[in-house]
Structure 1
Amino acid sequence: MRVTVIGLDGGPLDPEARRHLEKATLVVGGARNIAAAPGVPPEVPTYELGPLEPALDALGAHEGSPVVLASGDPGFFGIVRALRERGHTLAVFPARSSVALAFARAGMSWDDALVVSAHGRDLRRAVNACRAHPKVAVLTAPGAGPAELGRELHPQTPRAFVVCENLGSPEERVVRVRPAEATTRPWNDPNVVIVYDPRKPVGPSGWIAGARPGPDGWALPETEFEHRNGQITKAEARAHILARLGPRVGDLVWDIGAGSGSVGIECARLGAAVIAVERDEESCARIRRNVQRHHVKVAVSRGEAPAVLDHLPVPDAIFVGGGGLRTIEACAPLALRAMVVSLAAVERVAPTLALLKAEGYSAEAVQLSAARFAPLPDGTHRLQPTNPVFVVSGAR
């Protein structure tokens, strides 16, 4: 079936879109859009959007010329996807997207911004994107709006909000607030929230919209990190650890017993939000210097695991590089997706494996050691081994 999809932004309709609307035999849309659309014939039946599936069923059963009304650009986090999945042929007349309008009202560029949707999704992933990236537009939903974002981000993540309500309508309102203030105010739906780091309101220019295309390599050499007396996860082991953690945009990773912060920093370079935990101030300061060197965002929490973990947001993945069996035991129930533990002593491997399996992980263990080429005085080379390390990993 051919379905016409018309986007609304408070402005006049495209003449061709209006002609389609005037000839419609069924109009489907939210109550606000049906009321706001000019030219809906009064005799034509309408179907108000609530749950999406019944509306799609009604469209599929209709014989005629149906029109779907949507907000903004229906091809951007909109109904076009669901209609295409049902096999409909579409004629789409988009309006200005709410994201484009929001950034215009804020007077900000947005080719350097991530855009995430909280509609029907876990707000946690949007929050983690805001923790990790300096400029994010969040398409909100009731129960997942400015107040909820503010509660999750304050006070650990220094951000500013631009809340854009009812864009394009007479009730339009644009408000600049801090996360703490956002938690105390009433907000009107629909709204878009621009979450940005006030220290970096303009990102670097690039050739791809949104997040940068990814780091130019990972498992960086140890020389890329300040560390103490060789106490750093070696690059070869780090490569395996990163593969098992699988950090990505929208994730939160804990780096427990972070040391130099090398694992957490590599996770941040791959787009994840990261919290590094260390017990002494000297190590925390070292991590902060390494974070600054690599131009990423890592929150550093000083404290003794497992006690400090009670105050941290829920992680998708956890790396434990130090802290002992008590720390591993405390962390294992908390990771939503993956947990990786680095161990120096073989005697700790079996208890750690058993612990992860008891918590419902599919667990494995490997021993990793690399032998690097090292020059000899006569111009030949020998193999110089790194200390072996045992890596226990679990996935849910």
Structure 2
Amino acid sequence: MEQAKLPSGSDKKWLSVLGVGAEGLTGLSEVARFLLDQAEVIVGGQRHLGMLPNSDLRPKLAWDSPITITLDQIAARRGELVCVLASGDPLFYGIGGPLLERFALDEMTIIPAVSALALACSRLGWAWADVEVVSLCGRPLELLHTLLYPGAKIMALSATGETPRQVAQALTTRGYGDSTLYILENLGHSQEKVLKTPAGAWAEQEIANLNIIGIHCQRTPEAAELGGVPHSRLAGLSDLAYSHDGQLTKQEVRAMTLAALAPLPGQLLWDVGAGCGSIGIEWLRTHPRCQAIAIERHPQRQQLIAENAVNLGVPNLKIVPGVAPEILVDLPQPDAIFIGGGVHISGMLETAWQALKPGGRLVVNAVTVASEQLIFHWQQQVGGTLRRIAIQRAEPLGTYLAWRSLAPVTQWQVLKY
């Protein structure tokens, strides 16, 4: 039998990462099988390690919690031939990401199997490019909330066989009980099965732990009463979308503030004096890889921030209780900072400006004369753009409508060179 041809440069590679489908090790390619056979140490979950024959006496490492424990053990084996067994495509919400954060690519050989997403889309006839994807493996179920709108097609990676029931309940609660759920079990295996059911008609049943959920979203007629009004991912959600105690950046000002902050995927925002969290929440809603920290000293407002973040689908918003600027010193360096209150506090602007990354943006909204004077002074020192935001809304006055003005806002935005 001709020896398998390894990838170019494999003489430097000691760490192999092999995707395994539902059919198990028999589905490995010739090259993947060769790498597994040559390995001196094998790493994987209990399910993957259980695929090896009892006669295989090579050292084995099962994933521990936290995952860094096992990553440290792998690093200690550098120089030995280590093989990691993973599910499907290791780079699709899999172990490939953490491994690449720890080890250089030129040390690794990655051979994926067909991902669960590709198999699920093929079974349902859904074009991959038209599908929203979310992993619920070790992640909050509320991540679904951002993705819900009529007609949406969502693929959700399940944590366990309980996840489909939880998804059905969450959809029904939010007014999407008419959505069709497709529970795809054991894809690629001889025991593969597809279950179809309306979310609102979920019946208790046993679901395999290895499953992925297809969701075709449809709102029920009473969805609005259940909070199922779809929210745009653009900035400027209705003020009614938030629970607050009056400390809320109003819709029109919020939209202009997010435009000034100009979020990009993967960037980190500090929302200083977060109030009910609206700026950080809408920053996160622009892209799933965005990050935000809400800094707020009032316990009641911290609770409002948490509730709003969950309700609007960004439970990953980090809430830091404390008083700025002192609390800012030990936070991760931000790409953007928003200060909506407390700009007059001694050291606030100095601390924020020093912390901001080169190329980062600082946006300040001022409503008092003292705060205006301060940002006028800073604008003269470091530059940036000033603008005055004055909004009027038509509101009832007796049996008529009259224009009522919101408090004007002076906004300063500056890019740190």
TM bin, normalised by shorter chain, reads 0.5 to 0.7
Change (3 A) 1:172 1:236: closer
The residue type equivalent to 1:135 in the other structure is: K
Change (3 A) 1:333 1:26: closer
User: 113-122 vs 236-245, which deviates more?
Assistant: 236-245
Equivalent in the alignment of 2:81:
65
Map 1:1-396 → 2, pairs under 5 A: 2-9=14-21, 10=23, 12-36=27-51, 42-51=56-65, 52-62=67-77, 63-88=79-104, 89-130=107-148, 134-142=152-160, 145-155=163-173, 156-157=175-176, 158-182=178-202, 184-197=204-217, 237=253, 239-240=255-256, 333-336=303-306, 364=341, 366=366, 369-370=389-390, 388-390=405-407
Q: Which whole-Å deviations, capped at 9, do the CAs of 1:119-143 have from their partners, x for residues lacking one?
A: 2221211343245771111111138
- For 1:8 and 1:92, the matched residues in 2 are separated by 12
Partner SS state of residue 196, structure 2: strand
- For 1:181 and 1:195, the matched residues in 2 are separated by 14
Equivalent in the alignment of 1:275:
none
Change (3 A) 1:390 1:105: same
The residue type equivalent to 2:209 in the other structure is: D
Q: Is the 8 A contact 1:135 1:197 kept in 2?
A: yes
Q: How far 1:53 moved relative to its partner? A: 2.5
Equivalent in the alignment of 1:206:
none
Equivalent in the alignment of 1:276:
none
Q: Which whole-Å deviations, capped at 9, do the CAs of 1:334-363 have from their partners, x for residues lacking one?
A: 332879xxxxxxxxxxxxxxxxx9xxxx86
Where does the alignment leave 5 or more consecutive residues of structure 2 unmatched? 1-12, 220-232, 238-248, 266-277, 288-292, 295-299, 310-322, 324-338, 342-364, 368-387, 393-402, 410-417
Q: How far 1:116 moved relative to its partner? A: 0.9
Q: How far 1:46 moved relative to its partner? A: 2.0
- For 1:14 and 1:40, the matched residues in 2 are separated by 22
Q: Which whole-Å deviations, capped at 9, do the CAs of 1:199-234 have from their partners, x for residues lacking one?
A: 9xxxxxxxxxxxxxx86xx779xxxxxxxxxxxx99
Q: Is the 8 A contact 1:164 1:191 kept in 2?
A: yes
Q: Is the 8 A contact 1:151 1:183 kept in 2?
A: no
User: 67-76 vs 140-149, which deviates more?
Assistant: 140-149
- What's the RMSD between the two structures over aligned residues? 4.5
- For 2:262 and 2:199, the matched residues in 1 are separated by 29
- For 2:302 and 2:69, the matched residues in 1 are separated by 41
Q: Which whole-Å deviations, capped at 9, do the CAs of 1:75-101 have from their partners, x for residues lacking one?
A: 111111111111242101110001111
- For 1:31 and 1:58, the matched residues in 2 are separated by 16
- For 1:371 and 1:331, the matched residues in 2 are separated by 25
- For 1:93 and 1:371, the matched residues in 2 are separated by 56
Q: How far 1:370 moved relative to its partner? A: 4.1
- How many aligned positions are there? 260
Change (3 A) 1:120 1:246: farther
Change (3 A) 1:234 1:36: closer
Q: Is the 8 A contact 1:148 1:183 kept in 2?
A: no
The residue type equivalent to 1:54 in the other structure is: I
Partner SS state of residue 56, structure 1: helix
- For 1:234 and 1:94, the matched residues in 2 are separated by 47
Where does the alignment leave 5 or more consecutive residues of structure 1 unmatched? 200-213, 221-232, 250-262, 273-315, 318-329, 340-356, 373-385
Q: Is the 8 A contact 1:241 1:391 kept in 2?
A: no
Partner SS state of residue 129, structure 2: coil
The residue type equivalent to 2:17 in the other structure is: V
Change (3 A) 1:371 1:113: closer
Normalised TM-score (structure 2):
0.52
Q: How far 1:16 moved relative to its partner? A: 0.8
Partner SS state of residue 209, structure 2: coil
- For 1:247 and 1:87, the matched residues in 2 are separated by 29
- For 2:146 and 2:153, the matched residues in 1 are separated by 12
Q: Is the 8 A contact 1:123 1:144 kept in 2?
A: no
Q: Which whole-Å deviations, capped at 9, do the CAs of 1:11-50 have from their partners, x for residues lacking one?
A: 621101111111110111122223336x897132222234
Q: How far 1:193 moved relative to its partner? A: 0.6
Q: Is the 8 A contact 2:390 2:406 kept in 1?
A: no
The residue type equivalent to 1:145 in the other structure is: T
Partner SS state of residue 42, structure 1: coil
Q: Is the 8 A contact 2:391 2:405 kept in 1?
A: no
